[in-house]
A and B are shown apart, each in its own frame.
Chain A
């Protein structure tokens, strides 16, 4: 592959000044960056008005293979990622069977080697069958490349089980990701406890249940000497707890989803199941605290919690419909539409939280747009627009609040190594 992108705006993590230059990519490597480059590149793209970003990295994805391939497969999910400008991801262990042993990790690796055009990491479960009782086959999974353990989308309810798991597996070099919730307070209802849950007559999940568990899991990790990554924080007090623990030097990182940044409980309206997510959408003040936490570095990572479900399932009543929405294809564009284009989030912070930071946590090589670096990049057109119609999705599912909406921004080109993944 041989490509020259002319006069493009370059966005990297940690670089606040905007660099406008030509970028020459040759044989999978960024060969040269400079003004008015004269090159032998076979293809030339006018980059004026466009932004060149490092490939995004999503460390919280539910691929449904094996077990629920009608919702998503490794092939469809990774193609959806590419479509949304994501060049690497971590899949969660709640497949059927659950990812709790070397055997299942091996199977998935084999499928991914055939079906995925992007690197895919596999998160192992903390407990067998994510049942919260016996520890999974940790070392076998580690030998096959598993770095992170989580029982997502469940917490490990019994703190003694989590403590033992942390004491054991952190010695083997693994770290933990926590879906924070207190089951006794949760009632299995993905709706915030408050005005909307009252109106709709559904028992809500109070914010304090999630916040207690965030604090609990960081304390347990501190005790065990483990690193814990707090998944999809949804409340202002949750952000504050993480901020305080970071100030005390705890080994903790945290993520937020695009939907928790953008939507609040009022979006559910009259039982719209495309806003049924777990943890639930909270209040407008929580959205703002999450964005502030992302901007001040308390929250390290943006991750989608991509959760595909069939139209049949989501068309059921709100209480019966499953939790979750898809995000791989909508994340970057909606983050641009809602925040970057409004000046509420910089390209640099976006590149840090949606590329550099999760790659670092997962032990991946960084994606940087600089001379000599491997090509891992996304050309984004802020002047373009994207319509999220069913036909435009690569995902097998379309359960998203953005269905049939047109948002500002478009992913024009995705390059990974010497391959153009999306052109």
Chain B
């Protein structure tokens, strides 16, 4: 793969995605050894530029980079600060002067990582930009899915929740479709876009969606902090209509349907407690696979090359 940046899933080919997923396999094997480190990125610098609070993704990238022997720096962006447009270009110039090899960026502005990628020689990895993309989440989801279903073509995944505002839903939908998985969406009317990619089924009724017989039900996190604008009347009503309730869990168990969730879960909203102990819940596997997938991305990108995935 000759690619400087990873900005989204849309611009990746199926072959590139599978190359990345294949690359993650030996990295995951590494985790069972006593020394979990390889010297692949020795002497390289990785800069974490997180403008949005994140513990899980930030730690995952940090562990991934360290297991590749890279030096990791966390650029100190106060969590409270809203990045002013004026300062972004100046920040990029500063970063360029630091000559880091990789910049991992998370920001609330959709499209911002592409601007940084355009202005710097470093490899830019999008760790989530606004509602646009979260490509490493999609890769770890794809990796997890493929571990369970090595033949991905024709399999089915149902993504449930706030599709509209979710960069995870966008990227994971794109990736799953690219590896031949059929995708359907389920959620409250205002949160399931009518202008999604052609071929994605749109459900607003749980029973109808389950009748479609998905192999995996992927529950999105309900963003509590987004409840200032009302898209559904209450969390209680959300759980009843779209959540995996105790009654619905029985059906899922009977069907042997797998459960995924990007975390962190809201118990009693997206799912009932019992799901967390379900043998076919892949939620913790996703976290572990996230490190392997991110190692594969860091390992595969080519900093300072002229090819630009933004184009």
Chain B associates with chain A: yes
- Tell yes or no: A200 within 8 A of B by CB: yes
Beyond A317-B112, A319-B111, whether A312 also contacts B195 by CB under 8 A is no
Majority DSSP secondary structure for residues of B touching A: loop
Q: Cβ of A316 and Cβ of B115 under 8 Å apart?
A: yes
Q: Cβ of A194 and Cβ of B195 under 8 Å apart?
A: yes
Q: Cβ of A201 and Cβ of B88 under 8 Å apart?
A: no
Q: Cβ of B170 and Cβ of A201 under 8 Å apart?
A: yes
- In angstroms, Cα B115 to Cα A271, docked, is 9
Write out the residue numbers on chain B whose beta carbons fall within 8 Å of the beta carbon of A317. Answer: 85, 88, 109-112, 114-115
- In angstroms, Cα B129 to Cα A347, docked, is 47
Q: Cβ of A316 and Cβ of B10 under 8 Å apart?
A: no
Beyond A312-B89, A315-B115, A317-B109, whether A201 also contacts B195 by CB under 8 A is no
Beyond A316-B115, A319-B130, whether A202 also contacts B89 by CB under 8 A is no
- Tell yes or no: A354 within 8 A of B by CB: no
- Tell yes or no: B167 within 8 A of A by CB: yes
Give the B-binding residues of A (Cβ under 8 A).
193-195, 197-203, 270-271, 312-313, 315-321
Write out the residue numbers on chain A whose beta carbons fall within 8 Å of the beta carbon of B195. Answer: 193-195, 197-198
Q: With CB as the reference atom, state the residue of chain A lying closest to B116.
A: A317
- In angstroms, Cα B115 to Cα A319, docked, is 11
Q: Cβ of B311 and Cβ of A270 under 8 Å apart?
A: yes
Write out the residue numbers on chain B whose beta carbons fall within 8 Å of the beta carbon of A318. Answer: 110-111
Majority DSSP secondary structure for residues of A touching B: loop
Q: Which of A198, A200, A315 contacts B111 (CB under 8 A)? A: A200
- Minimum distance in angstroms from A118 CB to a CB of chain B: 34
Q: Cβ of A200 and Cβ of B110 under 8 Å apart?
A: yes
Q: Cβ of B129 and Cβ of A320 under 8 Å apart?
A: no
Q: Cβ of B85 and Cβ of A201 under 8 Å apart?
A: no
- In angstroms, Cα B87 to Cα A320, docked, is 11
Write out the residue numbers on chain A whose beta carbons fall within 8 Å of the beta carbon of B133. Answer: 201
Contact with A along B237-249 (1 / 0, CB 8 A): 0000000000000
**Which of B111, B112, B130, B164 gathers the greatest number of chain A CB atoms within 10 Å?**
B111
- Minimum distance in angstroms from B200 CB to a CB of chain A: 11
Contact with A along B189-214 (1 / 0, CB 8 A): 00001011000000000000000000
- In angstroms, Cα B129 to Cα A319, docked, is 11
- In angstroms, Cα B109 to Cα A200, docked, is 10
Q: Cβ of B132 and Cβ of A200 under 8 Å apart?
A: yes
Q: Cβ of B131 and Cβ of A202 under 8 Å apart?
A: yes
Q: Cβ of A198 and Cβ of B193 under 8 Å apart?
A: yes
Write out the residue numbers on chain A whose beta carbons fall within 8 Å of the beta carbon of B112. Answer: 317, 319
Q: With CB as the reference atom, state the residue of chain B lying closest to A204.
A: B195
- In angstroms, Cα B193 to Cα A193, docked, is 10
- Tell yes or no: B310 within 8 A of A by CB: yes
Write out the residue numbers on chain A whose beta carbons fall within 8 Å of the beta carbon of B193. Answer: 198
Q: With CB as the reference atom, state the residue of chain B lying closest to A196.
A: B195
Write out the residue numbers on chain B whose beta carbons fall within 8 Å of the beta carbon of A313. Answer: 85
Interface contacts (Cβ under 8 Å), in number, total: 64
Write out the residue numbers on chain A whose beta carbons fall within 8 Å of the beta carbon of B311. Answer: 270
- Minimum distance in angstroms from A204 CB to a CB of chain B: 9
Name 25 interchain pairs, CB-CB below 8 A, sorted by A: A193-B195, A195-B195, A198-B164, A198-B193, A198-B195, A198-B196, A199-B10, A201-B110, A201-B111, A201-B129, A201-B130, A201-B133, A201-B167, A203-B131, A270-B310, A270-B311, A271-B115, A313-B85, A316-B85, A317-B88, A317-B114, A318-B110, A319-B109, A319-B110, A319-B112
Q: Which of B89, B111, B131, B170 contacts A271 (CB under 8 A)? A: B111
Write out the residue numbers on chain A whose beta carbons fall within 8 Å of the beta carbon of B196. Answer: 198
Q: Cβ of B85 and Cβ of A271 under 8 Å apart?
A: no
- In angstroms, Cα B174 to Cα A420, docked, is 58
Other 9 A-B pairs with CB < 8 A, given A199-B10, A320-B109: A198-B196, A200-B111, A271-B110, A271-B111, A316-B85, A316-B88, A316-B115, A317-B112, A318-B111
Beyond A318-B110, A318-B111, whether A202 also contacts B130 by CB under 8 A is yes
- In angstroms, Cα B114 to Cα A312, docked, is 16
Q: With CB as the reference atom, state the residue of chain B lying closest to A192.
A: B195
Q: Cβ of B89 and Cβ of A316 under 8 Å apart?
A: yes
Q: With CB as the reference atom, state the residue of chain B lying closest to A320.
A: B85
- Minimum distance in angstroms from A297 CB to a CB of chain B: 33
- Minimum distance in angstroms from A117 CB to a CB of chain B: 35
Write out the residue numbers on chain A whose beta carbons fall within 8 Å of the beta carbon of B89. Answer: 312, 315-316
Write out the residue numbers on chain A whose beta carbons fall within 8 Å of the beta carbon of B109. Answer: 317, 319-320
- In angstroms, Cα B164 to Cα A80, docked, is 42
Write out the residue numbers on chain A whose beta carbons fall within 8 Å of the beta carbon of B167. Answer: 201
Leading 9 A-B pairs by shortest Cβ distance? A201-B132, A320-B85, A201-B131, A201-B110, A271-B111, A317-B112, A195-B195, A318-B111, A317-B115
